[in-house]
Amino acid sequence: MSKPRVAIFDFACCEGCQLQIVNLEEEILDLINVVDVVEWREAMSEQSHEFDIAIIEGSITRPEDEKRIEIIRSRCKIMIALGACATIGGVNKMKNKFDLEEVKHCVYGKDAHMPHLETGLTKAVHEVVDVDYKIHGCPIDRKEFASIIRALLLGKRPTVPDYPVCVECKAKENICRYEYNQICLGPIIRAGCGARCPSNGFRCFGCRGYVDTPNVEAAREVMDKYGLTVEDLRQKMVLFGCEQGPTV
Amino acid sequence: MSTNININVHHVTRIEGHGNIVVNAKDGKIEKCEWQVPEAPRFFEAMVRGRSFQDIQTIVSRICGICSITHSLASTKAVEDALGIEVSEQSDKLRILMHYSEQLQSHTLHVGYLVAPDLFNAPSVVPLVPKAPDAVKTIIRAHRVANNWSDLIAGRTTHPVTLIPGGLTKIPTEQQLRDLKKELEATVKDLVAICEVVHSVAGNLPKFERPTEYVSLKQTTPPTYTFYHGDITSNDCNGDGPVNIRNWQKVANEYVSPQSTAKWCKWHRDAYLVGALARFNNNAELLSPLGKKVAEMFGLKKGNTNPFMNSIAQLAEAAHVVETSIQMIDDLLTRGLKPETVKVSPRAGRGSGCVEAPRGILFHTYEFDKYGNCVYGNVCIPTNQNHANIQKDFEKFVPEFMHLGQDALRQGMEMLVRAYDPCVSCSTHFLNVEFV
């Protein structure tokens, strides 16, 4: 069997998720043995139009990028959205909370009307084309990336947790961030990160997006316990969760 | 020899972000020679408005995946300046240790993965794996140590979570610091090995000189090869420097170029350079012993004017940060780590933060209302400051190397862009694009 051809493309993002692939360190040498990386602009000069798996990093923010992602989709068999910008729009979606004309004016002043500064509403990749798999997080967890790719190469469907960060946080025996008077999004955000932020003393800010069916009642119980409301929780979704469904 | 040149590199590879090179020459006469930046703008300055001072570093670290620790540090320092927050000596040291982990990570990535393939005449590091497996594995090992180091102090390798206004959410244990010290001691040997590999092909670095202004931080009390504290200086400062970081706009002097969509920067001349070479040229005598030895090995001396030597200055800095960190860990362990609680309260104010990203000096300024909500943000990124200098290099490089023919010229220009270790996705998010 020939090796699957993999191409990595980046759109509006910080390219930090690609960096996590590099950060696999020695493990990347094993991956290179079982796949054929045909295009990866950040790391390689090689380029190709023929690939089986396209890995997409970044959000779609311009009409020309919508065209580019449609072309990539037409060329690949499997499309993977890599990281929060691609899976849920990431921080780029904060822009959608403002009037776009005003946003352009704020950054570009009197030249906001220049055609090449045209920006649309930020979209996650699946809002433009079909996406087969999502690798969540800002940035992605490199171990999760490796396990998902491994599953795909074995012809298996990768399993991505559909339970909240609180589950992993409790397993780590962390003291709840609410005990420190912080509003943590752990109750409604998809696990898989190993509760990395709360384990380091920082509240979960929701970079992996909601679980498929957030347990609103459980979240309400936590809020009641600490004298807060679900609205307080929703207010904290603004960093990564703007206009991302389903909503609490 | 052909004197007709038509180079159009759409999206230069092996750099962070998107940049184009366009050169047209007919009968030896250059008609067009441009460094262009088509990156999708992301509007961070607009997006931070209305956000709490406690969320700023979480948002703006996402400007760049490669220098996320640097962006977090610069923004946190700016918030602390605005809100009048003091940071303990222990937190300050741990932050510098965190910052050094990113310098090692980024420099190793740049020299080992992005620049080395050019020197070996390979399109990427992938074909080098079977050719030089030991060298590649040594580079990977140094890179892994740097990332584990960030993981320990910053909470993860990219987009730190432990950094908050006033200090850190979590500090390492003394045992963890002792383990890190052992890893760093082992890395010294690996860095020497990497330097030897690069040295064996350093003859492939183009011989190209163009004196320019070199801008970096400078710290005099105590004298330090600084990445984190100090004022802004340059080799052209003559009674008008060093400049306090709150006045960084006087240094950057962003201006509009008719041949670029990007705003450029200039201070005393038509362009300036930031990054490892600028830091080296301003502070070389303060490098650690091994850092000095690395520079010496490559014949890199203060006042160097070859931009390709930026990668070599990065190697010297990699040695410096590892050696210095070993010393800093000893200091921290001697004093003993003490748990700290951070208490901050909002107030109205404006503040600036400036640190050296691996690829050059970085400025952040924010203003907050009395509730601590952001009303204004302004950031000036190293690559933005280098754009004009890259263009000026192109204008000298093309006529000098045109006789080599189109392909060699194109490769030389791509190498030149890479030498700056550009971070284009950073630089465009804050461009004020104007045309005259």
CB B27 within 8 A of CB B44: no
Average pLDDT, integer, range B226-237:
97
Determine the pLDDT at residue A163: 95
Best mutation target, B102, B106, B161, B429, to test chain A (most A CBs within 10 A): B161
Cα gap B372→B376, rounded to integer Å: 12
pLDDT tens digit string along B206-223?
Answer: 999 999 999 999 999 999
pLDDT tens digit string along B15-66?
Answer: 777 778 999 999 888 999 988 876 667 778 888 999 999 999 999 999 888 9
Domains of chain A (ranges, CATH numbers): 5-94+121-153 (3.40.50.700), 165-236 (no CATH)
Per DSSP bridges, beta strands B231-234 and B223-224 are unpaired
| pLDDT band, residue B123 (cuts 50/70/90) | confident
Nearest CB neighbour to A32, from listed B17, B126, B170? B126
Highest mean pLDDT among A116-125, B296-305, B373-382: B296-305
Cα gap B164→B75, rounded to integer Å: 10
Q: Does the distance separating the beta carbons of A23 and B432 come in below 8 Å?
A: no
Dihedrals phi, psi of B112, to nearest 5 degrees:
-75, -45
- Taking CB atoms and an 8 Å cutoff, what residues of chain A touch B376? none
Q: Does the distance separating the beta carbons of A119 and B16 come in below 8 Å?
A: no
Residue of B nearest to A105 (CA): B46
Per DSSP bridges, beta strands B163-164 and B167-168 are antiparallel
Give ipTM to 2 decimals. 0.91
A94-103, A136-145, B12-21, B141-150: which has the minimum mean pLDDT?
B12-21
Determine the pLDDT at residue B259: 55
- As a whole number, the mean pLDDT across chain B is 91
CB B362 within 8 A of CB B386: no
Chain A interface includes B59 (CB < 8 A): yes
Is the peptide bond preceding residue B339 cis, with omega within 30 degrees of 0? no
Q: Kindly report the nearest CA distance between residue A41 and chain B, in angstroms.
A: 5
Chain A interface includes B14 (CB < 8 A): yes
Nearest CB neighbour to A196, from listed B123, B141, B155? B155
Neighbour tally for B41: CB within 10 Å: 23
CB B273 within 8 A of CB B212: yes
| pLDDT band, residue A248 (cuts 50/70/90) | very low
Chain A interface includes B285 (CB < 8 A): no
A108-112, B111-115, B284-288: which has the minimum mean pLDDT?
A108-112
Determine the pLDDT at residue B37: 74
Cα gap A49→A72, rounded to integer Å: 8
Extract the tokens encoding A193.
Answer: 């990160």
Using the structure block, give the residue that is written with the tokens 């200039």: B266
Residue of A nearest to B38 (CA): A116
Res. B9: pLDDT tops 90: no
Extract the tokens encoding B178.
Answer: 């002792």
Determine the pLDDT at residue B261: 58
Q: Does the distance separating the beta carbons of A17 and B40 come in below 8 Å?
A: no
Q: What is the largest CA-CA distance in chain B?
A: 70
pLDDT tens digit string along B340-364?
Answer: 988 899 999 999 999 999 999 999 9
A74-78, A108-112, B177-181: which has the minimum mean pLDDT?
A108-112
DSSP string, A41-107: TTTBS---S--SEEEEESBB-SHHHHHHHHHHHHH-SEEEEESHHHHT-GGGGGGGGS-HHHHHHHH
Using the structure block, give the residue that is written with the tokens 């898989």: A192
Percent of chain A with pLDDT over 70: 92
Helix, strand, coil distribution of chain B in percent, nearest 5: 50, 15, 35
Average pLDDT, integer, range A20-40:
88
